[in-house]
Amino acid sequence: MFTVRNSFRRSSRLIENICWKNGDVVPRDCISTGPQQQNGTFYEFRTYRILPEKNAAFLKLTNEKIHLRTAHSELLGYWSVEYGGLNQVFHIWKYDSYAQRAGVRASLAQDPKWIEEYISKAMPMLMSQDNEVTYLVPWSKVERPPKEGGVYELASFQMRPGGPAVWGEAFQAAVNTYAAGGHAHLVGVFHSEFGQLNKANALWWYESPDQRAAVRHKAHGDARVVAAVRESVTYLESQTNKLMFPCPYSPLK
């Protein structure tokens, strides 16, 4: 009886360490929820809604004082939203770790010039602030546009719960097929960590709003893009987009 009981326990431990995938038995440690992050670098998305009558004043103040903020951490881009949200600015900040971000925020709170010359004047101009923490997806990197000028589109996709294990491959195929067809320049693809979960963001660059319209029209007739999108949207719950102009002080122009 003792021997039978020990055999059963050994079998139970073996079962705990395996699972089924496509009809085959595979070690459980080979299963994950999708591609894993290789480093701690993350990107903070910040969206500010400005009082309509203060929009011009806010942009002017930020243009004059943004150097006080960039002295503390790296700014990837800063845009004024033209379509998809009036009187808004959107900016992306890069951090190597959460500890670094905490240190930056602490330093800013002790920076008298930042507080007196910018924060005290800018805050009364704002209606709201929002932020999200995102990571570059493992198959993407930040690619600068081929030239300065032009417009950016932030396309945000709320995907079904489950993460990349559920929708990652289909979403990657849709984005890469669109980019490979020469329809637009892909700046980067990010997925959410804090904020709305299961959210994927694709940042695109176009020469102009009219060029974007022409590109979209062309893509709708591309059989490869249509097929990839049809597969991806089976995992899609909703999507939004913003067309944005880079501010003069934006590193991504």
Q: Are strands 199-206 and 185-194 parallel, antiparallel or unpaired?
A: antiparallel
Does residue 242 contact residue 87 with C-beta atoms inside 8 Å?
A: no
Q: For residues 176 and 231, what is the distance between their CA atoms, to the nearest angstrom?
A: 13
* pLDDT digits 0-9 by tens, 22-78: 444 444 443 444 455 566 899 999 999 999 999 999 999 999 999 999 999 999 999
Reported pTM: 0.84
* pLDDT digits 0-9 by tens, 179-210: 987 778 999 999 999 999 999 999 999 999 99
Instruction: Give me the pLDDT at residue 18, please.
Output: 41
Backbone φ and ψ of 124, nearest 5°: -65, -15
Which helix (H) or strand (E) covers residue 126, if one does?
strand 126-136
Q: Specify the DSSP class assigned to residue 28.
A: G
Q: For residues 159 and 197, what is the distance between their CA atoms, to the nearest angstrom?
A: 9
Instruction: Give me the pLDDT at residue 5, please.
Output: 44
